[in-house]
Amino acid sequence: MDNFVSSCIGFLYEAFVECIGCTVARLVFPLLSLGRVYVKPFNSPPQRFNWLGYRRDESGRIELDDSVAGVMGLFVVFIVLLAITLIFRLSF
């Protein structure tokens, strides 16, 4: 039973954080920061990030780790959904 529960939690984590959150972060952060912040490319070699989950590249831009970008992307999705809910609630 523990294996089933941990598998379900792992699937939900993969579905929400890795897929939705990371995709939103890959699209939104470069746009909002005018290219100064981006998510680590898929084909980049493994390198260390600091404990906050980011590092600076050679040109001074901020590169985010996948897991940190996924959580931040989910936070952006949550804020957008909250704003949409409040706008529709106030309009009716």
pLDDT tens by residue, 6-47: 888 888 888 877 888 999 999 999 999 999 999 998 888 888
pTM: 0.78
What is the C-alpha to C-alpha distance for residues 85 and 54, in angstroms, rounded to an integer? 32
List the domain range (segments joined by +) for residue 76.
Answer: 2-91
Q: How many domains does the chain have?
A: 1
Count of helix runs (H) and strand runs (E) in the chain:
3, 3
Amino acid 39: pLDDT? 93
Give pLDDT tens digits for 60-72. Answer: 999 999 889 999 9
What's residue 91's pLDDT? 76
